[in-house]
Amino acid sequence: MDEKFLGKMADKSSEEHYSPFPEGYKIGKTKYVIITGSVISGIGKGIFSSALGKTLQDRGLKVAPIKVEAYLNADSGTLSPYRHGEVFVLDDGTETDMDLGSYERFLNMKLTKDNFTTHGQIYQKLIEKERTGDYHGRDVQYIPHVTGEAKYVLRNLAVKSKADIVLVEIGGTVGDFENLFAMESARQMIYEEGSENVCLVNLTYIVEPNHLGEFKSKAAQLGLRELMRLGLQPDLIVCRSQHPVTETIKEKISLNANVPIEKVFNTYDVGNIYELPLSFREQGIDEAIMKVLGWNDKYKANGSKSLKEWTDKNIVKKKGEITIGIAGKYTGTSDTYISIVKALEHCSTKLKANVNVKWIETTEIEKGKTTAEAELKDVDGLIIPGGFGTRGIEGKIACAKYVREKDIPFLGICYGFQMAVVEFARNVCGIKGASTEEVKKDDNTNVICILPEQEEVKDLGGTLRLGGFDIKLKKDTKAWELYGKKDSARERFRHRFNVNTKFIDKLEKCGLIFSGMAPEKRIMQILELKDHPFFIGIQYHAEFTSRPLNPNPVYLGLVKAAIKNKK
């Protein structure tokens, strides 16, 4: 595009165009793959983006992913796990959608706030700039101002990351009312950057009604028509399905979307998601994208050798099996604890042992509909995950007591760490009514209290103790051994409460070992028991730093202990 025209678009004057560019930005230096969805949400755009990124990395490309969320929340921190799955926390403290976890695991990257945005963030920035007069008296409109700010986010990531290619995942589906300006921003990006610098990929779901026993593509066709109605012509279409689709289905999609049949692909459900990058390579998905972007010869695949080696290591054959219980109160959907499940998968691959998960709803134990003994009698290890509020905590405490007394390997995460402290205080230290300030106000019995810096905090969003912090490890402890006998470790936190310093000495005198703490403050971050096969509590979320082929050491220790316990 003409440079003079681009400069005119970036001008904050009374011109009709407003498309700000970060300092140093040059069109064509970074290219974009924009990924949209149609028919239904939840078809795996995040996994597709992650797996695609892995194939592009294999070609020697520097990849920067970004998730563009449609909701008006400023971040994912205040969203219910039931509605949106887990809140994933980045090292810089940004609370994000769980897809950022997929990106980090597949791409082995440490992402930042620049890799995530919501429409709420974009509106927030827009209003701030309007209040300070940055729009030079213009009436602020969806076009060009909202779309201009949305495009700036993508270009800013391109400059900061110095990436060869930015993978843009637009949340939701085509046709969502709240997604309209994101789609319009994508259209404008293609116009301004040039079609040779942007590849548009649409994931569409092909339904297969059980009562018919055959595929139906009409819903997919309508979704694609809606995409084109918005001025967006896909370069590639990826048909998502439960089983491999027929060639006839591909032909129908090709005809209705003006996309050549050789650019219509199919990804169906597989047993192991780490098979996907190699599958994409074998189908030619990444090659087709490279051709759209004019990179036919510049970035050759590494003969698929390195990608195949990575895949083979992630899908090793396993012998034997163990069962790990996850005792929480959001067990209605596995997305709530997806990073925990993935961390266990990483350990399963590393140790070549099948790890089954048993979901235990602690609210049912609390209500007396079942017991900790009944739920835990067949598990080889237990995880009590994080959470908030009062519901289900007595069920968690009962589970912690059972595994402590029965020598079953245990890992308490965040709230699970705190519940282990409460249980120990009640049943070993004899502190009657020991509890947490999250449940009741009682300075005499609350062994868990609010962090001092959190006492005056009123708002919920983004106010927790968030992000990566260093942990000082106590020598000659289990935690010290797990982290390779190092003096410190770095993990990611998301909490507001902490062990009450008034009770630390008594808890330690009774046998609780605090083997990890904050370097500067008296914040207890790891606990353990000496005469137990494996009893570890962590105030942080170790699952966020677990990676394929490199499991987090705390999870690896738990699974090893569970395998030993099984034998």
Which residues are marked as active site? 414, 541, 543
Contact assessment for residue 102 and residue 46, using Cβ atoms and an 8 Å cutoff: yes
Q: What is the 3-state secondary structure (H, E, C) of 500-561?
A: CHHHHHHHHHCCEEEEEECCCCCCEEEEEECCCCCEEEECCCHHHHCECCECCHHHHHHHHH
With residue 54 as reference, give the H or E element that holds it.
Answer: helix 45-58
CA distance 251 to 259: 10
Q: Are 23 and 152 in contact (CB under 8 A)?
A: no
Residue 407 φ/ψ region, left for φ over 0, alpha for ψ in the -120 to 50 degree band, beta for the rest? left
Distance from C-alpha of 143 to C-alpha of 77, rounded to nearest angstrom: 29
* 539 Cβ contact partners less than 8 Å away, ≥ 6 residues apart: 414, 417, 418, 493, 495, 498, 523, 524, 525, 526
134 φ, ψ to 5°?
A: -70, -15
H or E element in which residue 349 lies: helix 338-351
Residue in the structure block whose two tokens are 């993508």: 154
Query: What is the C-alpha separation between 234 and 240, in angstroms, rounded?
Result: 15
Q: Which two tokens stand for residue 5?
A: 């025209």
For tokens 């310093």, the residue is 501
Chain-centre distance for alpha carbon 96: 7
Rg, the chain, Cα only:
26
**Cis (ω within 30 of 0) for the bond into 144?**
yes
Cα–Cα distance, 53 to 71 (Å, whole number): 25
